[in-house]
Amino acid sequence: MTSLPAKPAAPFSRIKVRAGALVFCGNDVALVRRDRADSTHYTPPGGNVEDGEDFTAALRRELREELDLDIDQADGGDLLWVVDQRVSRPGPTPPPRKLHLIYRLHITPEVRATLAEQEHDELPDGSHEVGVIEWIDYRQTAELPIFPPIGPALADLAHPHATVTDAALDAVTDDTYTWV
């Protein structure tokens, strides 16, 4: 019996999930700033959910890795937003569709004082990209280059504990976003 050659995956035929968090301390929110040769952008702390991993466990692991935060020291943990990403990107493999789950946590100034100031993201070659943890007044995020692009929705919150009635933010597609 002969096997057929593997058919190349189509763009967005794979789905990945990223669990991230907006960690508030008063009106300030923690964002990871990444400076690259041709751009600077921000992301909420978090990362990809591993195969078979529970979303809460992934969030716990990622916040420990990136902020050195034990989420048991935080209040909240509600799912704030979901962002559906279908954006082409450079590279040899077809881009995955990614669902960004954005949770919301609140910490005290005492906990904030113990958190990491840098995040070291491991790259495929084993080296690390350093991200700087910045605390930014959430009302000042509308124009920041944040990915996923949640800045306007974040800045529009009436206050850090505001109720959100629709967790689905606009999808991020090639028509609305250019990969940086």
pLDDT for res 10: 73
Burial 133-142 (b: 16+ CB within 10 A, else e): bebbebeebe
Gap between the Cα atoms of 115 and 9, Å rounded? 40
pLDDT for res 177: 81
For residue 78, is it within any domain?
A: yes
For residue 155, is it within any domain?
A: yes
For residue 2, is it within any domain?
A: no
> Number of folded domains in the chain?
1
CATH code of the domain containing 60: 3.90.79.10
Which residues of the chain have a pLDDT value below 50?
none
pLDDT for res 87: 85
* Range(s) of the domain holding residue 30: 15-159+167-173
pLDDT for res 2: 59
